[in-house]
């Protein structure tokens, strides 16, 4: 398996809802990432997990809460989001944790906050 998978593909939620995004890879990669991508913009890094430990949090609001249950899975828990949080949420993974390791992206979850 050489892919990063994400579920769900689409998610619509209200500002009071709690939902979770899921990401999975079976390539034995030891680093996993969450990115946010607004329309016509490049991906923006949110979080980095290395060896299942959170190593980077790019000053993301606490309404986004990442979790790495094991080396293959990465979740992003969402609570009390704002309409401006609507975006494509991309997961990525890389073999190692060095900045020069190639990152492979999942297909993304398109999130709409009403």
* Positions that interact with another protein (CB under 8 A): 31, 33, 40-43, 45, 48, 50, 55-56, 90, 94, 97-108
Instruction: Select 28 or 42, whichever has its Cβ closest to another protein.
Output: 42
Instruction: Select 7 or 102, whichever has its Cβ closest to another protein.
Output: 102
Q: Which one, of 19, 21, 26, 20, lies nearest residue 4 by Cα? A: 26
Instruction: Select 2 or 16, whichever has its Cβ closest to another protein.
Output: 2
Report yes or no: 105 and 90 within 8 Å, Cβ to Cβ.
yes
56-60-61-64 Cα dihedral, nearest 10 degrees: -70
Q: Residue 114 Cβ, how far from another protein at the closest point, in Å?
A: 21
Instruction: Give the span between the Cα atoms of 69 and 40, in whole angstroms.
Output: 32
Instruction: Select 60 or 80, whichever has its Cβ closest to another protein.
Output: 60
Q: Residue 80 Cβ, how far from another protein at the closest point, in Å?
A: 26
Instruction: Give the span between the Cα atoms of 107 and 4, in whole angstroms.
Output: 8
Tokens of 15: 């500002």
Q: Residue 19 Cβ, how far from another protein at the closest point, in Å?
A: 21
């Amino acid at each position: 398996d050489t892919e990063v998978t994400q579920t769900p593909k689409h998610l619509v939620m209200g500002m009071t809802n709690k939902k979770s995004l899921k990401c999975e890879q079976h390539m034995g990669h030891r680093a996993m990432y969450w990115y946010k991508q607004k329309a016509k913009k490049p991906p923006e890094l949110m979080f980095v997990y290395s060896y299942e430990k959170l190593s980077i949090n790019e000053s993301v609001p606490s309404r986004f809460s990442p979790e790495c249950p094991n080396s293959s899975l990465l979740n992003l828990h969402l609570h009390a989001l704002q309409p401006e949080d609507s975006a494509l949420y991309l997961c990525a993974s890389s073999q190692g944790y060095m900045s020069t390791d190639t990152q492979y992206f999942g297909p993304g979850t398109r999130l709409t906050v009403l």
